[in-house]
Structure 1
Amino acid sequence: MKEHIYKYKSSKVLLKSILSWICLAMQIGISILIVFNGGGIGSLLVVNLVFLIFTIPGIIIHLNYLKNARNAVLILRYNTISLTSSEKEITLNTSDITKVILHEGPRGSRMPWWNYSWFELIDKEGQSIKISCYLLDISDFWLDSLSRKVSSKNLVWEESLFPIIK
């Protein structure tokens, strides 16, 4: 039986989260410059407050996606899709999948977490598999030859400012 296995890769995590880490590094760098150039506590607080608005949500999303992908293994077979994690294993028949929901951040956004996304496969019985972009992107899922039995007509797109995995 042919199968494709997708596991957590640190290179993919770095690629997806790089903007959040750059924003955090800029915050630290600018704070150090303000302190060494004799800037006041007020300017230091304002700079840190502005940067925290951008970095905290990105770090929260990063940790959420990391938690969901770190010990997970996604296995695509011709007739089934399985997600195995340290807590559970869920297997869905590809012919029973009635809905594919893609959760993305706002398109065209300038937020550091704009490129985070996850998708959910739901079958007739209401069972679902949640797959973060750290494990597999939706575009890679559609390109995989073993996922062709899942109809793209069942795709629903949901946009949210904060695409956290629930």
Structure 2
Amino acid sequence: MNIVLTLPGWQGSGPEHWQSRWEALHGFIRVEQHDWMRPLRGDWTARLQDVVLAQPAPVLLAAHSLGCLLAAWWATHSGTVDRVIGALLVAPPEIERADNRVQIPGWAPPARRRLPFRSIVVASSADPFGSLESASRLAADWGSDFVNLGARGHLNAESGLGDWPEGLALLRSLTG
């Protein structure tokens, strides 16, 4: 497997989150942010740039929630997107929704430019942070394949995904 960088969302990913489990099981590398509670788009983007450039080979991104918007924002503004093979973008939030804008200011509107690498958006029809329709629109804008997992919540630890082998298979499909 290629080098995989995990991009957690707002508040990070706890020990039972699929990203944390993948890091423990497969040695994936978390892009640690300075402040998980008050995410500043510029700071998060600069940190992702630093971590991507520090890798000895091209990477895959495994993003959750706000991490999806980070990946898209970074791809829109980075001159080194050739260092990314593909991205699994799981449960992107509907950041333009009023309640989300209040909780996470400074991230709306999301980057909507087509991503310069292969990508898959995975969403749930029961995500409290974003509608299936919003995730589908982002996937279309980003040129991503789209996977609807049904009513599974925010696709985090509370969704009961465990080690999430189906997600890992989607991530691996980006290299083929």
Q: TM-score, structure 1 length as denominator? A: 0.31
Structure of larger gyration radius? 1
Structure with the higher helix share, 1 or 2: 1
